[in-house]
Amino acid sequence: MSQTDLEIVVDDPTAPEDDSPAVVSSGSVEIVVCLLLLALAVTLGYDNWRTGASWDATGPEPGYFPFYLSIILGGGSLYGLIVALLARRAASGTFVTRAQARRVMAVFVPTLLFCLVTQFLGLYVASFLLIAGFMRLVGKIALWKSLLTALVFTAIMFVTFDIAFDVIMPKGPLEAAFGH
Amino acid sequence: MKAAIALAAALCGTPAFAGWEPTKPVEIVVAAGAGGASDQMARMMQAAIQKNNLMKQPMVVSLKGGASGAEALMYMKSSEGDPNKVLIAYSLIYMLPLSAKIPFNWRELTPVSVIALDQFVLWDNSAGPKTVKEFIDAAKAASSPFKMGGTGSKREDHVLTVFLEQKTGAKFSYLPYKSGGEAATQLVGNHTEANVNNPSENLEVWRAGQVRPLCVFDKERISYTSKVTDTQSWADIPTCKEQGVDVQYLMLRAMFLPGKVTAEQQAFYVELFHKVTQTTEYKDYMEKQALKPIFLTGKDMVQFLEEDDAINKSLMTEAGFVAK
Amino acid sequence: MEALGLLLHGFAVLLTWKTLVLMMVGLVLGIFVGVLPGLGGPNGVAILLPLTFTMDPTSAIVMLSCIYWGALFGGAITSILFNIPGEAWSVATTFDGYPMAQQGRAAEALTAAFTSSFIGSLVAVLLITFLAPMISSFALKFGPPEFFAVYLLTFCSFVGLGREAKHKTVISMSLGLLLAGVGMDTVSGNLRMTFGSAELLRGINFLVAVIGLFGISEILLTMEERLALRGHAASISLRVVLGVWKDLPKYWVTLLRSSFIGCWLGITPGGAIAASFMGYNLAKRFSKDSESFGKGRIEGVFAPETAAHASGTSALLPMLALGIPGSGTAAILLGGLMVWGLNPGPLLFVEHKDFVWGLIASMYLGNVVGLVLVLTTVPIFASILRVPFAAVAPMIVVSCAIGAYAIQNAMFDIWLMLGFGVVGYVFKKIGIPLAPFTLALVLGNRAEDAFRLSMIGSGGKLGVFWSNGLVGSITTLAIVLLFWPVIDSVLGRVGLTQRTRTTSP
């Protein structure tokens, strides 16, 4: 098998990026992340305050450290929020361009589906579908190669984990039909 | 719960081998970390079963010590109907639901058998006081409270410490470590003045002459009379009652299956663990770790569990460890 | 010298064909479980433990310790090639190892990792051989305040290192510490931050988070940047290996410092993770060119690997001498010893001399044989990089999921991994550093427990952290390191003024 006919992505980082419009700027993402972290800090802070966040006779209570940490986290994200808001007026870098977003989604969406399928059909069926599908649809690799690779890899995983080492993976109706 | 008791009642005679056998590797779920007493026991059983060919399928030890063992309890609870998981349980099945409000009740699981009772011993550093009386006097006279090491918080070790305080009037500050092994080394290193470890947890440091057993928290002395150290055997340790401190506590070691398994499946495991208790591996282990042999199943086991539960509940309530 | 004689006797016991074959089998199995993410050291050894039940104790321990060596060597492979640390202490290896692989220097990075593992372990074994009795009494000196001081030292060696904006480091570390606290609090036995969820009861497992943060997010980034895993430029040959070895003497300070840190933290239980981070941080801090760390610097592979393995190996000492395992894998080995009726503890060295010295001798042999074995197989591992990305990417995703699931057998962890993958991707893009986050997630709980136990013990007095020479000097050292940038600049100014004075006529 020669290397070149299988190569599907440009492996030169210096290759010119195609001219693609920005989807969202780094500044906006930073603002959203800071807001989310702030919300998390408030939620956790409240929960810890309820658990008990004072310093009693035997030292700090269970919520003591987490409570102050949530305050620190809140402070940090608030500061980050202000910095990001101020910087927004100035030119802010691109978080992701449309072409990049498309490529990220091309791997993220299959991964998400993979997790979903694992939940219902078990890990081995899901991994077969993911590998075969990804190689065929994203990698544009010949169908037979994709199916064969997926089958071999999944089979190796199955033999290694479920048979040789007794590590039990989530399984679904297909495996059940074969008595596993 | 009723189902479990009914099942157990149906089995109270001699458990007949009903023909069911596991077709998958059996997971033995340990509600504690690696190297602890439960883990050691699980590995002993794994070895005993494998060496004596007691089961066709392999047995896998699965450590679920997260959240002080609550992880294992929730795992068993959620595995309803799965006959390939057995829990090796101890007093946490009564205590954790009380202290941490874990939504768990041992009656939702299927009891298989009680296989041992574990002792508790009061230990101090070998450079410390030599008798219980001297120890208590020293604790009372100390300017800052004596430090008592133990495993976990609001659990058996902690409860025992509170009862020692109540019975003697001495004050202790209780240090909850992650494992009995850690509590043992911390005592040897003089970072604590005493601990209430199980015999197995302090065995090696005792044999090395680094700690001294003061008394055992039971009605009677431990029965093993062969020498453990140069001069002493387990039977030489006085009971706490003899020494004027009337505190008693024994901890069960029992096997459970998840809820809603069939009677045949339950019968298989009753038979299996009965065979395990006949092996030399089990017998050696019991003596070495100074465990009290016992084998209860069926109705006897349920009755034992109910009584034990009541005792633990009252102790926890008195100690003020029940979460509101 | 008695130790030497006993050691030679140990070698004599081992040098039979049967044991050598067992050794090779153990090493190959070990590398195999080490490479599979999710199996890793502790799980691998646990799974293979029953294989040895039917052997005699010496053969069994030779086999197991070789599995252990193999797993240690193997763990570095996934860290460097795929940015997926198999073990907590491999995290620091990814910082520079993965960039090196991306630059086509995978073979060099792997050689460096294996070689430094070898050096670290060797130093630790030497230490075990000659200082066993002394060291075990040193480990006993560690109570809660001392443990806290060590963790503090690790954290302090980290703060102020990054080039990132300070508030981002603060966010990263506090978030990590917060998530570390989720679940049951050991000291009080209460639940916190679980919001009544049974899934959160377990807490957030460190490895699940790391697999997501590093493994999954890396796939996303790689796709975005249109980078393939670039294996073409990696010329793998004996020349690379010898090249790395020739440069070795240049890094003797780093190697020595990391070995020392590793041994020191290894015998104080639970230190391997702290050791790898501290080894990395100190190498970076004392380097003249600390900016180039994290961009594929070979020293950034040497430092954490040497420290982690020195520590992983010396962790066997407290296990044998005191019965306290210093690492997860050591804990499983401990269980194995008990099955064969050998009780680790102070008397093991007296009552089972043959066994102990056989084990130590097998550490030497296993280490040497293991190094040769992994080095000769480097080309095979590095050739994984030549497989097309469209095939490797989904396989990595599957391996990550298997790894995340196998840790606690929980489907929830696969979702958690995916979540952390997204978090890792976003954080990397907006410059929130991940290293403080992971460090906090690993050590946060232990540090807090140690602090609170110290407080209970001392009745709430902070003076306990200066109550004796040992804890006092560690705490002071930690604070010095925390303010090192300030101290350094003051010293620098003094030095500068002196220099100007001498040069002026």
Q: Residue A117's pLDDT is what?
A: 94
Q: Residue C202's pLDDT is what?
A: 81
Q: Chain A residue with minimal CA distance to C224?
A: A100
Pairwise CA distance, residues B70 & B86, whole Å? 15
Query: Degrees (nearest 5) of the Cα angle C135, C139, C142?
Result: 155
**Nearest CB to A100 within list C175, C224, C232:** C224
Tell whether A179 is within 8 A of chain B (Cβ).
yes
pLDDT level of residue B323 (50, 70, 90 thresholds): confident
Domain assignments of chain A as residue spans, ordered by start: 25-95, 97-177
Q: Give tens-digit pLDDT for B202-237.
A: 888 898 899 999 999 999 999 999 999 989 999 999
pLDDT value at C499 more than 60? no
Q: What are phi and psi of A99, to 5 degrees?
A: -65, -40
Residues of chain B neighbouring A58 (CB-CB closer than 8 A): 173
Cα Rg of chain A (Å, integer): 24
**Nearest CB to B25 within list A58, A166, A179:** A166
Indicate the CATH number for domain B2-118+251-319.
3.40.190.150
CA distance A120 to chain C (A): 10
CB C218 within 8 A of CB C427: no
Which chains border C (3 or more CB–CB pairs < 8 Å)?
Answer: A, B
Q: What are phi and psi of C132, to 5 degrees?
A: -45, -55
Give the best residue of B60, B99, B171 to mutate against chain A (max A CB count within 10 A).
Answer: B60
Token pair belonging to C144 = 């809660």
Residues of chain A neighbouring C406 (CB-CB closer than 8 A): 161, 167, 169
Q: Residue C43's pLDDT is what?
A: 63
pTM (predicted TM-score) = 0.78
Residues of chain A neighbouring C393 (CB-CB closer than 8 A): 107, 134
Instruction: Give the C-alpha distances (Å, rounded to integers) separating A135 from A115, B321, C387, C395, C491.
Output: 18, 57, 12, 10, 58
**Nearest CB to A127 within list C190, C386, C398:** C398
- Four-way CATH pick for B121-236: 3.40.190.10, 3.30.390.30, 3.40.50.300, 3.20.20.210: 3.40.190.10
pLDDT value at C372 more than 60? yes
Q: Chain A residue with minimal CA distance to C170?
A: A76
Long-range contacts of residues A76-80, Cβ cutoff 8 Å, at least 24 apart: A76/A37, A76/C167, A76/C168, A76/C170, A76/C171, A76/C174, A77/A33, A77/A34, A77/A35, A77/A37, A77/A38, A77/A41, A77/C171, A78/A34, A78/A38, A79/C167, A80/A30, A80/A33, A80/A34, A80/A37, A80/C167, A80/C168, A80/C171
Q: What are phi and psi of C451, to 5 degrees?
A: -65, -45
Domain assignments of chain C as residue spans, ordered by start: 2-503
Mean pLDDT of chain B: 88
Q: Is the ipTM of this complex over 0.95?
A: no
Domain assignments of chain B as residue spans, ordered by start: 2-118+251-319, 121-236
| Average pLDDT rounded to a whole number, residues C257-261 | 89
Q: Which amino acid, one-letter code, is at B253?
A: R
Fold match flag (B2-118+251-319 vs B121-236): yes
Q: Residue C354's pLDDT is what?
A: 74
Q: Give tens-digit pLDDT for B29-83.
A: 999 876 678 888 888 898 899 889 999 888 888 878 878 888 899 889 988 999 9
Pairwise CA distance, residues B251 & B91, whole Å? 6
Higher pLDDT, B256 or C278: B256
> Hey, which residues 13-42 in chain A have their CB within 8 Å of chain C?
13, 15, 26, 29-30, 33, 37, 40
pLDDT value at C379 more than 90? no
| Average pLDDT rounded to a whole number, residues C241-245 | 84
Higher pLDDT, C354 or B233: B233
pLDDT level of residue A180 (50, 70, 90 thresholds): low
Query: Degrees (nearest 5) of the Cα angle C386, A10, C387?
Result: 15
Instruction: Give the C-alpha distances (Å, rounded to integers) separating A163 from A66, A156, B35, B92, B222.
Output: 43, 10, 26, 33, 44
Spatial CB neighbours of C354, under 8 Å, sequence gap ≥ 6: C9, C10, C13, C58
Q: Residue B95's pLDDT is what?
A: 92
Which chains border A (3 or more CB–CB pairs < 8 Å)?
Answer: B, C
Q: Which amino acid, one-letter code, is at B270?
A: V
**Nearest CB to C171 within list A47, A76, A114:** A76
Q: Chain C residue with minimal CA distance to A79?
A: C167
Q: Residue B216's pLDDT is what?
A: 95
Q: A66 and C406 in contact by Cβ < 8 A? A: no
Give the residue among A97, A90, A126 at the shortest CA–CA distance from A111: A126
